[in-house]
Amino acid sequence: MTEPTIDEMLAWLDSLTYDGYNNTPCNNAIRAILEQYRDKDTPYRERNKLVAYVAKIFPSHLSLHPAEDATWEPDWRNIVCVHSPAGQMTWHIHDSEAVQFSFLDMTTDCEWDGHSTEEKYRRLESLRGSQLEAVRAFVERVEQRLPDYDTGRGAEAWLKGYHRAIRDELAAMEKETE
């Protein structure tokens, strides 16, 4: 069973009535707390839409933060790991946001390269000009591979095939440079 969203809890709260009223001091206090939590999470939801977009452009996957590291809350252990031409970029995402990243495979063999938040955003910012042209050329080569991965089972299967094609193209490029 999944936990209700804040909007679901607010709707439930609005459905409660006492003597025909739901505008009680207790309900108002609970509503204010729930709205603060919802508003606090808004920047993360917006950021995650951008992270999902970036994860669709570059080879990416999901990973889990080590459970033995008690500095992270259990519901923030999901990590989106993006491998861009500028280097690795990772973002922790809340369990409630994981559905936005269902197109990514979960892997356990990812090594964090030690980048800081500042370095991650420097890498993201550096993806311009010739690197973007290289990415466009790369995407074209990957798209040429796609017919080999078409399972005909809908968008999710297509995205997974797309990511397999990206990984295969990266492997082919690595062999060429050896």
Residues sharing a CB contact under 8 Å with residue 166, sequence separation 6 or more, in sequence order: 59, 142
User: In this predicted structure, what is the pLDDT of residue 61?
Assistant: 93
* DSSP class per residue in 99-110: GGGTTSPB-S-P
Mean pLDDT of 131-147: 67
Q: Supply the pTM of this predicted model.
A: 0.55
The 8-class DSSP code of residue 150 comes to: -
User: In this predicted structure, what is the pLDDT of residue 45?
Assistant: 76
Please tell me which residue, 169 or 83, carries the higher pLDDT value: 83
Q: How far apart are CA 20 and CA 22, in angstroms?
A: 7
Please tell me which residue, 41 or 167, carries the higher pLDDT value: 167
Please tell me which residue, 5 or 176, carries the higher pLDDT value: 5
Mean pLDDT of 19-32: 69
With 70 as the cut, is the pLDDT of residue 1 above it?
A: no
User: In this predicted structure, what is the pLDDT of residue 151?
Assistant: 62
pLDDT per residue as tens digits for the range 30-81: 777 776 665 555 677 778 888 998 898 888 999 998 888 888 888 888 999 9
Mean pLDDT of 20-26: 66
The 8-class DSSP code of residue 148 comes to: G
Q: 54 and 70 in contact (C-beta within 8 Å)?
A: no
With 90 as the cut, is the pLDDT of residue 29 above it?
A: no
How many Cα neighbours within 13 Å face the side chain of 40? 8
9 burial level (CB within 10 Å; 0-12, 13-18, 19+):
middle
Per-position b or e across 107-139, b if 16+ CB within 10 A of its CB: eeebeeeeeeeeebeebbeebeeeeeeeeeebe
Which backbone phi and psi does 130 adopt, to 5 degrees?
Answer: -60, -35
Strand partners, 21: 18
User: In this predicted structure, what is the pLDDT of residue 60?
Assistant: 92
The 8-class DSSP code of residue 70 comes to: T
pLDDT per residue as tens digits for the range 70-128: 888 888 889 999 998 889 999 999 888 888 899 999 987 778 899 999 999 889 888 87
Identify the top-confidence range among 69-78, 138-147, 151-160: 69-78
Which backbone phi and psi does 18 adopt, to 5 degrees?
Answer: -130, 115
User: In this predicted structure, what is the pLDDT of residue 80?
Assistant: 95
